[in-house]
Structure 1
């Protein structure tokens, strides 16, 4: 499956890179996404205790961005790097 569509490349500079392009997460990227999800939720918990609502919104957004990659890694690994951009169209309908 090609993730990138090249519209114009007369010297075929991008065509050589097309075969090595993937939107799947490496094991290290997956572990980072899991760690970041937990870390931002941990920070959210303590900031919510202090009543810092504005910062809590930011922390939840960050957590959700990383958790989207984790979900896509399980259900649609070839699009996992896209995160929130691809989650609605890529998850099974039972999870929506």
Structure 2
């Protein structure tokens, strides 16, 4: 079991990243074609007033691999999505 020190806003947020895959018949592999952070659902677990930029790592957009569905990549995606929401939205805009 993970310790409390291992649980972060972005690690919890990773569980709310939806990545829809589609089979690529030409390559025989899988292609991810839709990404989404489920912010409404996440806010039910961690209310928005508890989100803070100080709790999130500073990452560049290109650190997300659009074809990687791993938990580590979803954690990165969640951190970027949460940062964007905190810097562009106001709490009453939802």
Normalized against structure 1, the TM-score is what? 0.26
Q: Which has the higher Rg, Structure 1 or Structure 2?
A: 1
Normalized against structure 2, the TM-score is what? 0.27
Q: Which has the higher helix share?
A: 1
